[in-house]
Copies of this chain bind each other. A is one copy, B any other.
Amino acid sequence: MENGHTGKHRVAVIGSGNWGSVASRLLASNTAKLPSFHDEVRMWVFEETLPTGEKLSESINQAHENCKYLPGIKLGTNVIADPDLESAVKDADMLVFVTPHQFVEGICKKLVGKLRPGVEAISLIKGMEIAVEKFSEATIGYREDKEAANRWAKLFTTPYFLVSVVEDIEGVELCGTLKNVVAIAAGFVDGLDMGNNTKAAIMRIGLREMRAFSKLLFPSVRDNTFFESCGVADLITTCLGGRNRRVAEAFARNGGKRSFDELEAEMLHGQKLQGVSTAREVYEVLTYHGWQELFPLLSTVHEICIGQLPPTSIVEYSEHTPNLSFVGGSTPCY
């Protein structure tokens, strides 16, 4: 696993958007300090020509700053921008993926046969605010190789960014995805002006369904994962801020009369909300297995999103709150 020439690990970051630049900066600060890593962090840049006529990669290497996606923040002189994917990864034995998820598959195909043997990769969940060095956390999910997981954690940890590892890849991934559906529900509650008590109740029911759904799909998923940063903390962050919550709030304020398509076009310049598409995908899984009644919140979010139910349905569970005791949930009494 170690680099043959020097025994030191070499890191390449695949992606140079806002979060890719943040990650490169953090990693470069750590590799410069940690003796088991090469100082240099190579960052693959999807090349663009800036309004000045300069290439983005050249601008980064000259100014040590990504003036387009993370202006005003120095990345470190040991971050080297490289517009050639193959060249960016060829010496690396630790790859950090920070591209939008829809590009990962295409990039991986291009990487086939171009990588060092034994190379390791990690995928980052976007949305952190650590560029400004506010205290924050993250969770790394791994399968079996705890030593590798700890090496990754060491590479990312700073005094303001605590990283934990859990042996539960599926749990960590599903937390990252399903929280966006719960954030839509939280946004509906905000749009209905129902207050913090109701919102907290909906977030908790959401967390309960996230856990039950994950455990039904992957029996290896562990309860503890939902107590990690990727679980309860990311859920809280996403339900307090975040665009899923924000657009869902607008949807509920309009009584569901303006569609998500319309609101996304207006509020997100046409970008689509991950929560809305995830809610549809989850609904398909629930329908396929006949599980809708077990997951009233996840089901209801989708049915509200497509206009089948009014936004107020998000707080109407009394008739059909399910028994989730098979995954450790308690049973409300009726």
Contacts and interface: CB of A to CB of B under 8 A. Distances in A.
Interface of A: 128-129, 134-137, 139, 150, 153-154, 157-160, 162-166, 194-205, 207-208, 211, 223-224, 226-229, 231-237, 240-241, 315-319, 321, 328-334
Given A224-B330, A317-B162, A318-B162, A234 B200 contact: yes
A287 to B, nearest CB: 25
Among A229, A237, A330, A334, chain B packs the most CB atoms within 10 A around the CB of A330
Nearest to A312: B135
A329 B157 CA distance: 18
A331 B134 CA distance: 21
A81 B323 CA distance: 38
A202 B158 CA distance: 16
A246 to B, nearest CB: 12
A135 B201 contact: yes
B241 A329 contact: no
Contact of A224 (B135, B235, B236, B328): B328
Q: Tell me how many chains of this kind the complex includes.
A: 2
B317 A201 contact: no
Nearest to A237: B200
23 contacts: A129-B197, A134-B198, A135-B198, A135-B315, A136-B198, A137-B204, A137-B205, A153-B332, A157-B333, A157-B334, A159-B319, A162-B317, A162-B321, A163-B332, A164-B333, A196-B236, A203-B236, A204-B227, A207-B227, A207-B232, A211-B227, A224-B328, A240-B240
A321 B153 CA distance: 14
A230 B334 CA distance: 19
Contacts of A319: 159
Given A330-B164, A330-B166, A333-B153, A233 B317 contact: no
A235 B328 CA distance: 20
A29 to B, nearest CB: 14
Q: Which 10 A-B pairs have the closest CB atoms?
A: A153-B333, A204-B233, A135-B315, A200-B236, A159-B318, A200-B237, A164-B330, A200-B233, A196-B240, A137-B201
B135 A165 contact: no
A133 to B, nearest CB: 10
A237 B333 contact: no
Contacts of A196: 236-237, 240-241
